Amino acid sequence: MNWLVLIGVIVTCFGLGLLLFTIGKIWQARKDQLNELEIKAQLQSAIVWNLGAMGCSGIGLMIIVLGITLKVYV
């Protein structure tokens, strides 16, 4: 079940990359000195990316746990 653990690591790393992308997007919005409505739109967009990133990371970690569990018991 090593392949399952490897897939989980890849999915988790992808989710972490999306989190870094979200952080960069928020920093860029603060750096650009946008008005209140534009910042609000940027933050709403970042929330969607953040939820996707957290979900992706969570699914990846579940795949890792599944792979380790199957490796131990099968």
Q: What's residue 34's pLDDT? A: 86
Q: Which domain holds residue 24?
A: 2-73
Q: What is the pLDDT of residues 4-19, one digit of tens each?
A: 999 999 999 999 999 9
What's the whole-model pTM score?
0.87
CA distance 55 to 73: 27
Interacting residues of 5 by C-beta distance below 8 A, sequence separation 6+: 63, 64, 67, 68, 71
pLDDT band at 3; cut points 50, 70, 90: very high
Q: What is the pLDDT of residues 19-61, one digit of tens each?
A: 999 999 999 988 998 889 999 999 999 999 999 999 999 999 9
**Domain count within the chain:** 1
Q: To the nearest 10°, report the CA torsion of 58, 59, 65, 68.
A: -140
Please state, as a whole number, how many other Cβ atoms lie within 10 Å of the Cβ of residue 6: 13
Nearest CA to 34 among 43, 47, 45? 43
